[in-house]
């Protein structure tokens, strides 16, 4: 446990054919359940390279003998859409600095949610994302931090920098489960805002390779064969995940199952869900395999 790992992938060259193989880059495992990188949100210090990691030493999380899902009727939901970090990051939260902006800090504010009459929280993305993406190269937003989280690095790992006191990936996983357990005990469901329409790997003008692109660009992304196999951009974020390719479809379904089984998530809100209905060339499908 605690080992960091990645992959080097070599293959055919030829940008115009859609290949982006580069054996010099260490790539993140798309199926990594924990991601190790920076531990503190927004601080450009420490390792920026994301690696997969794992833990086979810890005992399984104890959900409790009397634990059960709220299982509320959809028509009765009162949903509070919120960002895990921003909810308690400010000193006005009254929390200890070590837990502000963390999964644990969120737990301390459950009484506030109950007072509001909320019975479901819809969390802005909590999959591992790169909040420093604007700082990769000079651009009009290079002074900003991506606080919202719509720049997914990995679809299985919880956001490491939402752990309290910079605790790292294992703490992030454990504390997210603690948060879900506490919310469920209070009768509050947990819905995740999920981003399966694009990733953090940007566009062809400013390519950024951390995982999918270097493993098989032509499988994971929609390309335009009539234009030197450039990335198609139906997401407005530079790339579009090829969701109805059999490999990518299985990745998305495995991700959803993982969050339900491992973290007891109650439901999902799909960001830009229209992308889930497009074929490899971007054209809308009458019966998208992923949706079916």
- Residues 52-99: pLDDT tens digits? 999 999 999 999 999 999 999 999 999 999 999 999 999 999 999 999
Helix, strand, coil percent content, the chain, rounded in steps of 5? 30, 15, 60
Predicted pLDDT of residue 44 = 80
CA torsion 198-170-187-108 (nearest 10°) is -110
Average pLDDT over residues 98-109: 98
Closest CA to 152 of 112, 103, 192: 192
- Confidence label for 45 from pLDDT (cuts 50, 70 and 90): confident
Q: Is the pLDDT of residue 32 over 80?
A: yes
Q: Is the pLDDT of residue 46 over 70?
A: no
Instruction: Indicate the pTM of the whole model.
Output: 0.96
Which domains are delineated in the chain? 3-57+64-277 (3.20.20.80)
- What is the per-residue DSSP string for 224-260? ETTTTTEEP-SSSSS--B-TTSHHHHHHHHHHHHHHH
- Residues 208-263: pLDDT tens digits? 999 999 999 999 999 999 999 999 999 999 999 999 999 999 999 999 999 999 99
């Amino acid at each position: 446990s605690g080992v960091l790992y990645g992959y080097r992938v070599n293959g055919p060259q030829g940008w115009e054919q859609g290949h982006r193989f580069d054996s010099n880059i260490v790539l993140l495992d798309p199926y990594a359940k924990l991601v190790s990188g920076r531990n503190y949100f927004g601080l450009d210090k420490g390792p920026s390279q994301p690696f997969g990691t794992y833990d086979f030493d810890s005992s399984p999380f104890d959900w409790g003998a009397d634990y059960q899902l709220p299982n509320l009727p959809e028509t009765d939901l009162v949903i509070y859409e919120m960002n895990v970090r921003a909810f308690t990051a400010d000193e006005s939260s009254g929390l200890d600095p070590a837990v502000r902006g963390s999964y644990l800090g969120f737990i301390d504010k459950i009484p506030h949610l109950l007072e509001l009459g909320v019975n479901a929280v819809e969390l802005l993305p909590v999959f591992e994302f790169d909040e420093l993406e604007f700082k990769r190269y000079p651009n009009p937003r290079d002074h900003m931090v991506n606080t919202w989280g719509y720049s997914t690095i990995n679809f299985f790992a919880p956001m490491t920098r939402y752990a309290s006191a910079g605790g790292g990936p294992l703490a992030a996983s454990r504390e997210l489960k603690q948060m879900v357990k506490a919310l469920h005990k209070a009768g509050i469901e947990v819905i995740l805002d999920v981003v399966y329409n694009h990733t953090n790997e940007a566009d062809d003008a400013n390519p950024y390779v951390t995982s999918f692109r270097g493993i098989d660009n032509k499988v994971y992304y929609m390309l335009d064969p009539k234009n030197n196999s450039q990335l198609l951009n139906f997401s407005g974020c530079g790339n579009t995940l090829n969701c109805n390719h059999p490999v990518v479809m299985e990745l998305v379904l495995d991700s959803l199952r993982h969050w339900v089984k491992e973290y007891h998530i109650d439901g999902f809100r799909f960001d830009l869900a229209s992308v889930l209905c497009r074929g490899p060339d971007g054209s809308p499908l009458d019966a998208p395999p992923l949706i079916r």
